[in-house]
């Protein structure tokens, strides 16, 4: 658990309150001026551009990418590259031709040409599904943010965000306006920039000190010998081996008692039957609870202490620091290139984890893994690509699939496309997109530095990598930490309420009103929308709790894959192929959506979530895009060809 | 321009898949992976700027804001 400081909490609460008040204030202004967006000229394109960035740089970017870079190095940066590349697709391929059609949203464009009820139904369902998929990572991120700051458990953070947003949406009907997004986006970039500057100034150190002067946990290592019977013998009298656990792949863990307390160690074998035990962090899920300090039952031990009373398990440091061929203690005041150069030549201690059973309890050991900086600065630690390191073709296909989903996903997210059209003139829209690309690009370069700085500064929480960026801020002092968390939290609030509005709109407007032809009065429609918002909000909260600890960027990758499979083929073919029929469109949306979700639900990573063995999953694909996108295209073409004559006859008749 | 960017992007994926070791090779103080990744980001911005310049020029020529979109 994290200790809380009243000062940090008050900075946080004040900032969030300010943002909420601003949204409310601007929302009311919007109401009074009906043609706010139509007249629109009042918003400068540069302001609008930063607002785009504020909207797009959600929890996934700030928390997820930084966290992934902090754990896996360059592989997290692949997400940055893919997300940004997606904007190019949005700008060149989809947005321009759609603008020419005179339509702004996915459903509108499809509807204008065919006016078919099936399309309305499927487009609405797909909007709903994509929104919910996109909401999960936002919720997970929100829970992540409040944990270190307010000292609350993750689930409470999720419930908090959900409740605030539901109240806002259901009571006031918040329009998260351009100015609020502008300020949030701008501040996020400025503070990230500051954080990177501070990190570069601090540089690389082998001796770490945390912000409040507390020393970094010193991981012990014990030399041991292996006797003829294969037993591990330590010369240190304070240490006794209790049991060893061979987990294959050179992973041998030792449960021991050191100075009277239980501890877990990772055995590294050396020559001549000698070895070294390296101290590890560990958590344990107990069958029978123990009492924590306040007397409540605790089923979870962190380093042997009940979870409530434990210290956060933060780790990650430079093992051996080398720069230009020389071994050093520390390097400070580095430039951006020197930082990467130093990191490349050094050895970084990262923490990997392994879970297994210890009697009736389940233990997870977070062990040290010395990684050459060279490997951190290139792909391969998460996505396996090097055949020498055991990469299979399935790994490679997964990688291509992920990059495809990121590339095509942005253009298929309904709420991104709507954003593209909030400015009055085409020229202004274009210019603000460029400002957005510049701002987002800059931010993604910053994520690389924030992630790597978190990796070497002993701040990564081994149980939840999503916290890396806020915890990096914490190592520089409580004020910047509180501010950054508050900005990020406000961004999550903005994104979540936008998504919930979109999803409830899909239910109330597209489904109930148009598809079921319920002919609701305006008043009832609003009511239906609000009820839908509450329901969607509750679903999102539950999913947010279930997916705790999963990297939020990874989850967004899945949302992108679903969006790209369901929506993109329909949009692209509608724009560029005259033979497209309405049946083709409906089938393609349905097929893309169902196949993408089915592949995700049956993937190895999800099986791990269900608590089953990864290997028992029926296939090896973790990201569905490579199969489901072409499949959706194929379905569209085949069905269109099959139904072409019929629809032409219908047109003539 | 989209084709140009796609090619650049596909090449990046291809290098990673076919011979990941090249990504670790050094160029100056950095390795190819970092330079290529940053390159993709900067290139996206450059293309967007060029695109804007072309559209703006076309717009001025035709003197009606809407037709610039035909580019």
**Structural domains counted in chain A:** 1
Q: What is the pLDDT of residues A537-554, one digit of tens each?
A: 888 888 888 877 677 777
Phi first, then psi, for residue A288 (nearest 5°) are -110, 130
Instruction: Tell me how close the Cα of A223 comes to any Cα of chain B, in angstroms.
Output: 34
Residue with token string 């298929």: A412
**pLDDT score of B22 more than 60:** yes
DSSP string, A417-451: HHHHT-SSSHHHHHHHHHHHHHHHHHHHHHHHHHH
Residue A259 burial (10 A CB sphere; 0-12, 13-18, 19+): exposed
Query: What are the helix (H) ranges across A371-521?
Result: 373-376, 393-412, 414-420, 426-456, 468-474, 478-505
Instruction: Find the closest chain A residue to B9 by CA distance.
Output: A85
Domain for residue A650, yes or no? no
Query: Helix A522-546 crosses helix A478-505 at what angle (to 10 degrees)?
Result: 130
B contacts of A85 (beta carbons < 8 Å): 5, 9, 40, 44
Instruction: Tell me how close the Cα of B12 comes to any Cα of chain A, in angstroms.
Output: 10
| Helix, coil or strand: residue A44 | coil
Q: What is the pLDDT of residue A422?
A: 57
CB distance B1–A99 less than 8 Å?
no
Give the up-direction half-sphere exposure of residue A467: CA atoms within 13 A in the CB hemisphere. 28
Query: How many other CB atoms sit within 10 Å of the CB of residue B67?
Result: 14
Of A85, A377, A427, the CB nearest to B31: A377
Regions in chain A scoring below 70 on pLDDT: 1-4, 23-24, 26-43, 95-113, 168-179, 209-216, 385-391, 414-426, 508-523, 525-526, 549, 645-653
A420 touches chain B (CB under 8 A): no
Give the CATH number for residue A131. Answer: 1.20.1730
> How far does Cα B34 stand from its chain's mean position?
15
Q: Torsion angle, CA of A545/A472/A407/A555, rounded to 10 degrees?
A: -10
Residue A157 near residue A144, CB atoms below 8 Å: yes
The dihedral built from the CA positions of residue B60, B61, B67 and B68, taken in this order, carries a sign that is negative
Q: What is the pLDDT of residue B68?
A: 43
Instruction: Tell me how close the Cα of B45 comes to any Cα of chain A, in angstroms.
Output: 6
Strands B30-31 and A297-302: unpaired
Q: What is the pLDDT of residue A522?
A: 64
Residue A204 near residue A321, CB atoms below 8 Å: yes
Residue A89 near residue A407, CB atoms below 8 Å: yes
Residue A493 CB partners (closer than 8 Å, separation 6+): A16, A19, A20, A142, A161, A164, A165
A357 touches chain B (CB under 8 A): no
Which of A633, A652, A636 lies closest to A581, judged by CA? A636
Of B37, B44, B69, the CB nearest to A99: B69
Structure token pair of residue A69: 């870079």
Q: What is the pLDDT of residue A330?
A: 78
A46 touches chain B (CB under 8 A): no
Instruction: Tell me how close the Cα of A369 comes to any Cα of chain B, in angstroms.
Output: 20
Of A386, A430, A448, the CB nearest to B52: A430
> CB pairs under 8 A, 24+ apart, for B35-41?
B36/B12, B37/A74, B37/A77, B37/A78, B37/A80, B37/A81, B37/A448, B37/B12, B38/A445, B39/B8, B40/A81, B40/A84, B40/A85, B40/B8, B40/B9, B40/B12, B41/A80, B41/A81, B41/A84, B41/A441, B41/A444, B41/A445
CB distance A92–B1 less than 8 Å?
yes
Q: What is the pLDDT of residue A173?
A: 47
Structure token pair of residue A187: 């501040």
Domain coverage including residue A330: 1-529
Residue A70 burial (10 A CB sphere; 0-12, 13-18, 19+): buried
How many angstroms separate the CA atoms of A105 and A3, rounded?
Answer: 46
Paired residues of A276 in beta bridges: A223, A268
Paired residues of A23 in beta bridges: none
A535 touches chain B (CB under 8 A): no
Residue A443 near residue A189, CB atoms below 8 Å: yes
Q: What is the pLDDT of residue A336?
A: 82
Domain for residue A561, yes or no? no
How many angstroms separate the CA atoms of B41 and B65, rounded?
Answer: 29
Element (H, E) at A584: helix A582-601
| Helix, coil or strand: residue A176 | coil
How many angstroms separate the CA atoms of A215 and A429, rounded?
Answer: 51
Q: What is the pLDDT of residue A271?
A: 78
How many angstroms separate the CA atoms of A506 and A124, rounded?
Answer: 5
Domain for residue A574, yes or no? no
Instruction: Tell me how close the Cα of B16 comes to any Cα of chain A, in angstroms.
Output: 7
Domain for residue A604, yes or no? no
For testing the chain B interface, which of A81, A375, A425, A439 should be mutated: the one with the most B CBs within 10 Å? A81
Structure token pair of residue A629: 């996108």
Which of A141, A120, A134 lies closest to A564, judged by CA? A134
Q: What is the pLDDT of residues A481-499, one digit of tens each?
A: 888 888 888 777 777 777 7
Please, which residues 436-455 of chain A have a Cβ atom closer than 8 Å to chain B?
437-438, 441, 444-445, 448
Query: Helix A106-114 crosses helix A568-576 at what angle (to 10 degrees)?
Result: 50
| Helix, coil or strand: residue A264 | strand
Domain for residue A630, yes or no? no
Instruction: Tell me how close the Cα of B2 comes to any Cα of chain A, in angstroms.
Output: 6
Q: Torsion angle, CA of A468/A470/A472/A476, rounded to 10 degrees?
A: -170
How many angstroms separate the CA atoms of A553 and A549, rounded?
Answer: 11
How many angstroms separate the CA atoms of A157 and A629, rounded?
Answer: 35
Residue A536 near residue A506, CB atoms below 8 Å: no
Element (H, E) at A353: strand A347-358
How many angstroms separate the CA atoms of A79 and A71, rounded?
Answer: 14
| Helix, coil or strand: residue A45 | helix
What b/e readout covers A329-367, taking b as 16+ CB neighbours within 10 angstroms?
Answer: eebeebeeebbbbbbbbbbbbbbbebeeebeeeebbbbb
DSSP A507: I
Q: What is the pLDDT of residue A2?
A: 64
Domain for residue A424, yes or no? yes
Domain for residue A565, yes or no? no
Query: Helix A117-150 crosses helix A6-32 at what angle (to 10 degrees)?
Result: 150
Q: What angle do CA A200, A384, A449 make, to 5 degrees?
A: 10
Residue A348 CB partners (closer than 8 Å, separation 6+): A316, A317, A318, A319, A370, A371, A372, A373, A376, A455, A456
B contacts of A385 (beta carbons < 8 Å): 16-17, 20
Of A386, A403, A441, the CB nearest to B45: A441
How many angstroms separate the CA atoms of A90 and A409, rounded?
Answer: 9
Structure token pair of residue A248: 């294959």
Q: SS3 letters for A275-294?
A: EEEEEEEEEEEEEEEEECCC
CA gyration radius for chain A? 26
Paired residues of A603 in beta bridges: none
User: How many CB pairs (< 8 A) connect A and B?
Assistant: 113
A contacts of B23 (beta carbons < 8 Å): 378-379
Domain for residue A573, yes or no? no
A contacts of B21 (beta carbons < 8 Å): 386
How many angstroms separate the CA atoms of A30 and A40, rounded?
Answer: 11
């Amino acid at each position: 658990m994290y200790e809380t400081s009243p000062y940090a909490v008050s900075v946080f609460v004040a900032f969030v309150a300010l943002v909420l008040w601003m949204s409310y204030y601007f929302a009311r202004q919007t109401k009074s001026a009906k043609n706010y967006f139509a007249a629109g000229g009042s918003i400068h394109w540069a302001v609008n551009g930063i607002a785009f960035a504020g909207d797009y740089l959600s929890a996934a970017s700030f928390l997820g990418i930084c966290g992934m870079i902090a754990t896996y190095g360059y592989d997290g940066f692949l997400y940055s590259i893919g997300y940004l590349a997606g904007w190019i697709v949005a700008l060149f391929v989809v947005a321009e031709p759609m603008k020419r059609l005179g339509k702004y949203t996915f459903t509108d464009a499809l509807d204008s040409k065919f006016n078919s009820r099936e399309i309305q139904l499927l487009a609405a369902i797909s909007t709903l599904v994509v929104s919910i998929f996109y909401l999960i990572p936002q919720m997970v991120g929100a829970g992540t943010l409040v944990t270190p700051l307010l000292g609350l458990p993750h689930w409470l953070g999720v419930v908090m965000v959900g409740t605030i947003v539901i109240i806002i949406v259901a009571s006031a009907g918040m329009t998260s306006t351009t100015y609020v997004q502008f300020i949030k986006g701008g501040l996020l970039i400025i503070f990230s920039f500051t954080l990177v500057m501070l990190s570069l100034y601090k540089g690389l150190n082998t001796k770490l000190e945390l912000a409040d002067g507390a020393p970094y946990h010193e991981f012990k290592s014990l030399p041991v010998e292996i006797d003829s019977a294969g037993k591990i013998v330590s010369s240190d009298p304070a240490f006794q081996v209790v049991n060893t656990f061979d987990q294959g792949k050179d992973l041998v863990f030792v449960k021991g008692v050191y100075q009277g307390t239980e501890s877990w160690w990772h055995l590294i074998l050396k020559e001549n039957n000698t070895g070294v035990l390296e101290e590890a962090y560990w958590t344990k899920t107990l069958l029978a609870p123990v009492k924590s300090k306040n007397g409540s039952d605790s089923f979870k031990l962190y380093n042997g202490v009940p979870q409530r009373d434990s210290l956060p398990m933060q780790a990650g440091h430079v093992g051996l620091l080398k720069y230009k061929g020389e071994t050093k203690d520390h390097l400070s005041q580095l430039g951006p290139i020197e930082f990467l150069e130093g990191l490349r030549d050094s050895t970084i201690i990262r923490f990997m984890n392994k879970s297994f059973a210890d009697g009736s309890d389940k233990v997870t050991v977070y062990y040290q893994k010395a990684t050459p900086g060279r490997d951190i600065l290139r792909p391969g630690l998460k996505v396996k690509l090097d055949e020498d390191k055991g990469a299979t073709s399935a790994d490679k296909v997964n990688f291509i699939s992920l990059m495809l989903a990121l590339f095509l996903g942005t253009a298929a997210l309904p709420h991104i496309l709507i954003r593209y059209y909030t400015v009055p003139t085409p020229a202004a829209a274009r210019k603000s997109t460029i400002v957005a690309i510049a701002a987002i690009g800059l931010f993604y370069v910053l994520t690389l530095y924030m992630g790597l700085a978190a990796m070497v500064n002993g701040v990564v929480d081994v149980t939840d990598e999503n916290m890396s960026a806020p915890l990096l801020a914490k190592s520089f002092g409580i004020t910047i930490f509180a501010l950054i968390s508050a900005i990020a939290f406000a961004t999550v609030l903005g994104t979540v309420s936008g998504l919930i509005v979109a999803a409830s709109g899909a239910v109330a407007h597209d489904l109930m009103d148009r598809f079921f032809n319920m002919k609701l009065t305006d008043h009832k429609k609003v009511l239906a929308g609000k009820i839908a918002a509450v329901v969607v909000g509750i679903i999102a909260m539950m999913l947010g709790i279930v997916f705790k600890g999963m990297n939020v960027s990874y989850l967004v990758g899945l949302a992108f894959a679903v969006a790209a499979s369901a929506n993109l083929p329909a949009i692209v073919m509608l724009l560029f192929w005259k033979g497209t029929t309405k049946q083709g469109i409906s089938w393609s949306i349905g097929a893309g959506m169902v196949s993408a979700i089915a592949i995700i639900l049956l993937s190895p990573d999800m099986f791990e979530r269900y608590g089953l063995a990864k290997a028992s999953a029926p296939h090896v694909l973790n990201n569905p895009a490579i199969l489901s996108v072409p499949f959706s295209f194929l379905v569209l073409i085949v069905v269109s060809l099959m139904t072409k004559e019929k629809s032409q006859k219908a047109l003539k008749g | 321009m989209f084709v140009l960017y796609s090619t650049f992007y596909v090449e990046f994926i291809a290098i990673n898949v076919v011979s990941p070791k090249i990504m670790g090779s050094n160029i100056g103080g950095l390795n190819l992976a970092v330079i290529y990744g940053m390159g993709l980001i900067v290139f996206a911005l450059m293309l967007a700027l060029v695109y804007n310049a072309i559209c703006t020029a076309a717009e001025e020529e035709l003197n009606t804001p809407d037709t610039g979109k035909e580019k």
